[in-house]
Structure 1
Amino acid sequence: MMPLNIFAKVAPLLRETKFNNDSASIIDFLGKYHLGDWIYPSALHRELKLDIKSVYELLELCAEEGIIEQYLQIYCPECQRFIGSYYKTLLEIPETVNCLHCDTEITNPLQHAVIIYRVKNNEQR
């Protein structure tokens, strides 16, 4: 199976939204992502110069269409890096976690959870 650039499916959606003016740059940037890749909203915010609320609105539009899905990742308040684990729901997050980079024990990791997205595999649709 060929790697699929799934964001060609996003182009028609963008034409009907407030993102229409930026659709070429959005499609170009999202075209770098393929099945199974992780998408960090902060990367879109930084690269496309969109405000973070618009980035999440765009990604949620893609999630509603079944192209991507939401996950949670915890960042370490000490070293400011992600701890390396991904969680599908809030209930999956343990009460404490350890940072694999600086070994800090993070109590109440929900306070440090960030929504990220993953491009869905064909089997997941």
Structure 2
Amino acid sequence: MSPDILSKVKHKLTNNFNLTDKQVADFLDLFSKYKKGQLIYPGAFIRKTYIQMSLVYKILEDISLSGVLERSYEIYCPSCSWYTGELFSTLKDIPEELECDECETTLNFLDNSLVVYKVVFD
């Protein structure tokens, strides 16, 4: 991640969110490791920074507004924890009828989708 982008993200973290210095440093440390094309799973930031889930999503959404990240949806199976590997830009792009290729469980696109973020700018 370029120093310019990290500087902008740091500015957002310190000015838009009520975070401790350690949370900001931990967030930036993890965020800096991502490269263009990689997926960011919010859970990784929750575990590393101890920031509440709802706030991590707000932060990632705020960063995505600057064009660095793009929100996508990924489908998983709650029965066997299998991920389709396919990304969808919007919920309406997800087929209404889905079945897990691993265990044949019928999946509901609303209940079985995760928000992930793709790095689109280095």
Tell me the TM-score normalised to structure 2 length.
0.84
Aligned to 2:68: 67
| Cα contact 2:67–2:120 (8 A) shared by 1 | yes
Aligned to 1:111: 111
Q: Which amino acid aligns with 1:106?
A: T
**1:34-89 superposed Cα distances (whole Å, 9 cap, x missing partner):** 11110001111112221101110110110111110100011102102322111001
Write the distance in 2 (CA, Å) between the matches of 1:83 and 1:106: 13
Aligned to 1:12: 11
Q: Which amino acid aligns with 2:6?
A: F
What displacement does 1:11 show? Answer: 1.5
Structure 2 gap segments, 5+ residues each: none
By relative contact order (CA 8 Å, sep 6+), the higher-ranking structure is 2
Write the distance in 2 (CA, Å) between the matches of 1:52 and 1:99: 27
Structural RMSD (CA)? 2.0
| Cα contact 1:71–1:86 (8 A) shared by 2 | yes
Count of equivalent residues: 119
For residues 81-92 of structure 1, the aligned pairs below 5 Å read 81-92=82-93
Following TM superposition, the consecutive aligned residue runs of length 4 or more in structure 1 with deviations greater than 4 angstroms are 3-6
Write the distance in 2 (CA, Å) between the matches of 1:73 and 1:43: 16
Write the distance in 2 (CA, Å) between the matches of 1:82 and 1:99: 9
Write the distance in 2 (CA, Å) between the matches of 1:7 and 1:46: 20
Write the distance in 2 (CA, Å) between the matches of 1:81 and 1:42: 17
| Cα contact 2:41–2:117 (8 A) shared by 1 | yes
| Cα contact 1:4–1:34 (8 A) shared by 2 | no
